[in-house]
Amino acid sequence: MTQSWQIGDIKITQINEFAVEVGELDGLIAEATPDAVKAVPWLYPDYANENGQTLWSVHSFVIDTGSSVVLVDPACGNHKDLPLIPAWGGLDTPYLKRLEEAGYAPKQIDYVAITHLHLDHVGWNTVLDGDRWVPTFPNARYTFVQDEFEYHRGLTEGATVTEDLGHAVTYNGADPDIHKQTRLVFEQSIQPCVDAGLVDLVPQNHTICDGVRYTSTPGHTKSHSSLTIESGGQTGFITGDFVHHPIQAAQPTWSSRGDWNRELSSERRVEFMESVADTDVLVFGTHFAGHSVGRIVRDGDAYEFAAV
Ligand SMILES: [Zn+2]
């Protein structure tokens, strides 16, 4: 079932790609042990199971302002080579059919916005046409934050990485070579859009269209950006992987093992939770399973994610 929310005059719709298999991301947030997860009762049943395992989703959000349609974080895509997380590669999901059923044909997408250039946020940028990768959204401007784009392009050329992607080696047959994976992401999901002349490299905090802007939230990647949506006095915030899992409301200092800079990620999350706690800001969780949209409410010294 397609779910939508309203921020003033702006409509936001979730497009699901897949639910992450239970156990696949165990250990990604090192502190989130089964006992620690079970100590946060409001995580159950959408965000954790009775064994204390965290639950995750891969999906996108479509922002429809009435005059522009922005697709945020187009997931893993079909038929991609993803040696870093093999289970997410070679997919064949009806994501584009779901997008159409929600009222958005590929040609209607005006902008593609990307919180960061990881494999599960850029996949539907392109589709296979025979044996060639071509842009999925021919009328869209693919707006990438320039610093984020250049950092990842640097990885394709062998730049040093600080991310600890050790969790990936626990996946069946995974190849933890981040340089190789980033090269594949560029070849299959980024470069075809550049070659078609559809890419705009934009500064941090760039306004994409009226009511929709990037908001710098570094930490998960060097220049990770979330999305802020404002209309009619209301505010929405699409997290990207800045808030990776709802448990980070209860424990904002817990970072993901895949974060580029865990201290920075933690600091910015603490600031964020404090700034939105007990306000009307609607938070859209990019990997939140089940009810992915809600508000941050104060819960003693920490916070709770209260789904709407
Ligand atoms: Zn992600």
Q: What phi, psi does 175 have (nearest 5°)? A: -110, 110
For 172-175, which contacts have Cβ atoms below 8 Å and span 24 or more sequence positions?
A: 172/86, 172/87, 173/86, 174/83, 174/84, 174/85, 174/86, 175/83, 175/84
Considering the chain, what percentage of its residues have pLDDT values greater than 70? 96
Helix pair 146-156, 178-185: axis angle to 10 deg: 120
Q: What phi, psi does 214 have (nearest 5°)? A: -70, 145
Q: What integer is the mean pLDDT of 240-244?
A: 97
In this predicted structure, the answer to whether residue 164 has a pLDDT above a threshold of 80 is no
Find the 41 Cα to ligand 1 centroid distance in Å: 24
Find the 118 Cα to ligand 1 centroid distance in Å: 6
Find the 50 Cα to ligand 1 centroid distance in Å: 24
Distance, in Å, from the CA atom of 305 to the CA atom of 294, rounded to the nearest integer, reads: 6
Distance, in Å, from the CA atom of 175 to the CA atom of 87, rounded to the nearest integer, reads: 12
**161 or 282, higher pLDDT:** 282
State how far the alpha carbon of 218 is from the alpha carbons of 61, 70, 91, 262, in Å.
Answer: 20, 22, 29, 10
Question: What is residue 272's three-state secondary structure?
Answer: helix
Find the 110 Cα to ligand 1 centroid distance in Å: 23
Distance, in Å, from the CA atom of 35 to the CA atom of 62, rounded to the nearest integer, reads: 36
Find the 34 Cα to ligand 1 centroid distance in Å: 22
Find the 241 Cα to ligand 1 centroid distance in Å: 5
Find the 80 Cα to ligand 1 centroid distance in Å: 16
Whole-number average pLDDT of the chain: 94
Find the 24 Cα to ligand 1 centroid distance in Å: 13
Strands (E), 131-287: 132-135, 141-145, 199-202, 207-209, 212-216, 225-231, 234-238, 282-284
Find the 287 Cα to ligand 1 centroid distance in Å: 7
Find the 120 Cα to ligand 1 centroid distance in Å: 5
Where does the pLDDT of residue 177 fall: very low under 50, low under 70, confident under 90, or very high at 90 and above?
Answer: confident
Find the 59 Cα to ligand 1 centroid distance in Å: 9
- pTM metric for this prediction: 0.96
Residue type, 188: Q
Find the 65 Cα to ligand 1 centroid distance in Å: 25
Find the 243 Cα to ligand 1 centroid distance in Å: 10
Distance, in Å, from the CA atom of 126 to the CA atom of 269, rounded to the nearest integer, reads: 32
pLDDT in tens, 54-70: 999 999 999 999 999 99
In this predicted structure, the answer to whether residue 170 has a pLDDT above a threshold of 70 is no
First to last CA, the chain: 16
Find the 72 Cα to ligand 1 centroid distance in Å: 12
Q: Are 14 and 292 in contact (CB under 8 A)?
A: yes
Find the 15 Cα to ligand 1 centroid distance in Å: 15
Find the 227 Cα to ligand 1 centroid distance in Å: 15
Q: Single out the residue of 60, 86, 31 nearest to residue 285, CA to CA.
A: 60
Q: Does domain 3-232 have CATH number 3.60.15.10?
A: yes
State how far the alpha carbon of 195 is from the alpha carbons of 55, 134, 153, 189, 264, in Å.
Answer: 37, 9, 15, 11, 34
Find the 135 Cα to ligand 1 centroid distance in Å: 21
**Structure-block tokens of residue 233:** 């006095």
Domain boundaries, the chain: 3-232
Element (H, E) at 10: strand 10-19
Sorted by sequence, the CB contacts under 8 Å of residue 239 that are 6+ apart come out as: 115, 217, 226, 283, 284, 285, 286
pLDDT in tens, 85-141: 999 999 999 999 999 999 999 999 999 999 999 999 999 999 999 999 999 999 999
